[in-house]
A and B are shown apart, each in its own frame.
Chain A
Amino acid sequence: MEANTRGTGRLPAAFLTPGSSSFMDFLSEHQPEMLPGNRQLPPTQGVIEAPHGTTIVAVTFPGGVVLAGDRRATMGNIIAQRDIEKVFPADEYSAVGIAGTAGLAVEMVKLFQLELEHFEKVEGAQLSLEGKANRLSTMIRSNLGMAMQGLAVVPLFAGYDLDREKGRIFSYDVTGGRSEEHNFAATGSGSIFARGAMKKLFRDDLSEEQATTLVVQALYDAADDDSATGGPDVARRIYPIITVITEDGFRRLTEGESSEVARAVLQRRLEEPDGPKAALL
């Protein structure tokens, strides 16, 4: 399956053919069967049971963007995994969080990371944030066949735009439709509840610390009302994954930092289960 097994051990012609800077384009010409979108699906009846990732939230603040996710994967009414990771760095200045079929989503992220890195190495320059967001769109579109069979992947893409000097969020639908979100966004089964929480808590002048607290509040509310979303698991010490992207690049909060935020939120919820109250007018 690699270069060596074809021909004499010399790099096959496809490797030395000048062409696109895209790894996916190269793969689709050289070994199209390696691309997830080209996989032949056997005819199936009903929905395929596979672990699903649930809630991802993102919020911008002056100077950057925060992207966070809960840790639960479910299969039907079963908790398939308690400590799944659904938020990944895409490259130095962007991150992607995934909801939907976990196996496919993780594979898509791996290919997306590679796509960005490959471009950077070949061209010696990074793609624009817009370019990265469009590339992800193409990848989701190529998964449409599987999405129709219930294996959808719905990511949330966030990054720091070095040209515009601000954090930006992009959300997607199963067909690859891309839309830029302002201020905050959520995807996955708990997203409606998370979005409600963020709508009430969001302000234009959040600090980075406040933004990380906000996403944990939103994830708590999502877990509160959606059985597929996991809340902070204090007993097992499993806390949300929180990532921050600023001018300085991507940073994932350490377990200590995210547990501190999660515990603070949890502590307050013991007194006020419904969380911070907004003024009526």
Chain B
Amino acid sequence: MSTPFYVSPQQAMADRAEYARKGIARGRSLVVMQYADGIVFVGENPSRALHKFSEIYDRIGFAAAGKYNEYENLRIGGVRYADLRGYTYDRDDVTARGLANVYAQTLGTIFSSAAEKPYEVELVVAEVGETPEGDQIYRLPHDGSIVDEHGSVAVGGNAEQISSFLDQRHRDGMSLAEALKLAVQALSRDTNGSEREIPAERLEVAVLDRTRPQKRKFKRIVGRRLSRLLAADGAATEAESAEEDGSEEE
């Protein structure tokens, strides 16, 4: 056995950060975006069963890029945290801010503990409010820092490029179809600037819809409704999506 080298804390952290970032970059990016009636999650995911997005609690959704087993572990931890908190106090006392803090602490502790390998994940925790002003989106990179985001956010390997693309084009009060199409457009751009087609079957889409009458606002958008939203344009989309929403509430 050789004598251990001295590694400066800066170097050690930089190495760990690079390790985590490389892991995250292997996965595909995803987008979380505000639209008029809530928050939409869009990502490329060929699997129907292994989700990148899921419900944590009534108004809180979860999105993750990176290593599946690690973010799945964090997701279940979050569900347990939220359910326990709601059971101990009240459903209203479960907030995205609280959850994001717990995730930040967890990721931060793992990142800076020499005994553990850093998690190769980047998370988004989002809570839909009564109004667009009440929406909250938190981005949690691998090192446990926490970023309060507005409008749109992208995580994953190609996140920076997608974010800047979205920042220029996203505006408040977009319809679901508009937001969805913008997100798909952003995800279809490759690092070298060329575009490729992402078919509807390879998209995973979910929303936190504040207009849902149920307490639980999370809903996946699949099948015909998804292709309709992607196909339609302009005014026709508005009418169709309104009609769709109406029929669902029956």
Residues A26 and B102 in contact in the complex (CB < 8 Å), given A111-B87, A121-B54, A124-B54: no
Cβ contact within 8 Å between A9 and B105:
yes
Interface residues of B: mostly helix, strand, loop or mixed? helix
A236 contacts the other chain (CB 8 A)? no
Which residues from chain B contact A3 at a C-beta distance below 8 Å? 81, 84-85, 102
* Chain A, range 77-120, C-beta contacts under 8 Å to B: 110-111, 114, 117-118
State the interface size on chain B (CB cutoff 8 A). 29
Q: Taking the complex as formed, is A248 at the interface, i.e. its CB lies under 8 A from any CB of chain B?
A: yes
- Are B102 and A9 neighbours in the complex by a CB distance under 8 Å? yes
- A41 interface residue per 8 A CB criterion: no
A2 at the interface (CB under 8 A from B): yes
A34 touches B49 (CB 8 A): no
Name which of B16-24, B71-79, B126-134 contacts chain A.
B71-79
- B88 contacts A11, C-beta separation under 8 Å: no
Contact with A along B170-190 (1 / 0, CB 8 A): 000000000000000000000
Cβ-defined contact, B105 with A8, below 8 A: yes
Asked if B81 contacts A11 (CB within 8 A), the reply is yes
Cross-interface CB contact of A9 among B49, B73, B88, B101, cutoff 8 Å:
B101
Closest-by-CB residue of B relative to A15 is: B77
The answer to whether A1 and B83 have CB atoms under 8 Å apart is no
Complex formed: what's the CA distance from A27 to B84 in Å?
Answer: 8
CB-CB contacts of B44-60 with A at 8 A, as 1s and 0s?
00000101001110000
Chain B residues near A2 (CB, 8 Å)? 81, 84-85, 88
A242–chain B nearest beta-carbon distance, Å: 19
Chain A residue nearest in CB terms to B104: A9
Are B87's CB and A15's CB within 8 A?
A: no
Most buried by B among A1, A8, A11, A114: A11
A122 at the A/B interface (Cβ < 8 Å)? yes
Chain A residues within 8 Å of B102, by CB = 3-4, 9-11
- Whether a CB of chain A sits under 8 angstroms from the CB of B227 is no
Separation of A28 and B85 alpha carbons in the complex (Å): 15
Given contacts A3-B84, A27-B84, 18 further A-B contacts (CB under 8 A): A1-B88, A3-B81, A4-B102, A11-B77, A11-B103, A14-B80, A15-B81, A18-B76, A23-B80, A23-B83, A26-B84, A34-B88, A114-B87, A117-B83, A118-B80, A118-B83, A121-B55, A124-B49
7 pairs of A and B residues whose beta carbons are closest in the complex: A9-B105, A15-B77, A10-B109, A10-B106, A10-B105, A11-B77, A16-B77
Q: What are some 18 contacts across the A-B interface (CB < 8 A)?
A: A2-B84, A2-B85, A3-B102, A4-B98, A8-B109, A9-B101, A10-B110, A11-B77, A16-B74, A16-B106, A26-B80, A27-B87, A31-B84, A34-B87, A110-B87, A118-B80, A121-B55, A122-B76
